[in-house]
A and B are shown apart, each in its own frame.
Chain A
Amino acid sequence: MTKPSAQALRAEALESLLTEKGLLSSAQVDEVIATYSEKVGPMNGARLVARAWLEPAFRQQLLADATSIVNDYGFEGGQCEKLVVVENTPEVHNVVVCTLCSCYPWAVLGLPPKWYKEPAYRSRIVREPRQVLNEMGLELTDDVQIRVWDSSAEIRYMVLPMRPADTEVLSQAELETLVTRDSMIGVAQPVGVKG
């Protein structure tokens, strides 16, 4: 453990004081951070995905011009230059990376997960995508082609995962709960899809 910086100590002191005063708890702060980084963002993406599963016309629009759709929805962070949505099919599986840094479709997916920014993922997913996906728990059969999309400052990518089977009776809101952040990065399937 390296010595914490002066600011880290000050932040810790503040949190400790506020906790002692009963104004907040560490669990609440954790919750806010988690909400912000994992729930709020991906929920926006999940809304798009679930709607695309339900409405073929919307799906076409999303695949043709996701940027306009994000702007229409008015998602926070929608200022990102261009969003491209790539569609998974039984033959093709898409996965997103940013090999140079951590470009990420923030408006639809929230804050990027830690592993997304790490050199290991950034370099290896391009060289050996099947192996990396495997290690992350996603096994694809050999006949599925894997396409890796390298994000940049100009273009971000989001994956439109395949709709799980036997979900015809589900509502949009119910479908949204199946769409995980990782499935929209392309390192996992939505809940209910066999890897």
Chain B
Amino acid sequence: MTGDVDDMSLEGAIAPPMANGEILFEAPWQSRVFGMARCLCEQGQYSWDEFRARLIEVVGAADAAAAPGDEYHYFDHFLEALTAVLEDKQLCNATEVNLKTTELSARPHGHDH
């Protein structure tokens, strides 16, 4: 397992939020997205390098577009990069994700998930 972990380093501009050396998940969905990205990679749907390349692009574009003082939301970018790599691999496209998101948001209030 150590090899797998070594292989998935994300450093420099695309490093996840760390507090004193620890990766920080601020909400459960963030760890789900992280888990999905790793899971599909382990299944061989894409290489971690392919994912990383997408993440670098997304973070780079967000940095370029950010105004001073804007908050940085790493896992938003992580999710976008995952969606992009899934689209590259024709596993899932953004339109489907948008539709499903709309469908889920229409659930009755109080839905417990």
Q: Which residues of A contact B (CB under 8 A)?
A: 1, 3-18, 21, 23-24, 28-33, 35-37, 39-40, 43-44, 74-77, 79-81, 101-104, 106-107, 111-112, 152-153, 156
Contact = CB atoms under 8 A, between A and B. Distances in A.
B12 to A, nearest CB: 12
A16 B96 CA distance: 11
Interface in B66-113: 73, 75-76, 79, 82-83, 86, 91-92, 96-97, 100-101, 103-105, 109-113
Interface of B: 1-2, 4-6, 9, 19-23, 27-36, 38-40, 42-43, 45, 73, 75-76, 79, 82-83, 86, 91-92, 96-97, 100-101, 103-105, 109-113
Contacts of A24: 36, 39-40, 43
A29 B39 contact: yes
Contacts of A23: 40, 43, 45, 91-92
B75 to A, nearest CB: 7
Contacts of B75: 7
Given A8-B27, A16-B104, A103-B20, A1 B96 contact: no
Given A24-B43, A40-B1, A12 B22 contact: no
B20 A153 contact: yes
A102 B23 CA distance: 11
B20 A14 contact: no
A151 to B, nearest CB: 8
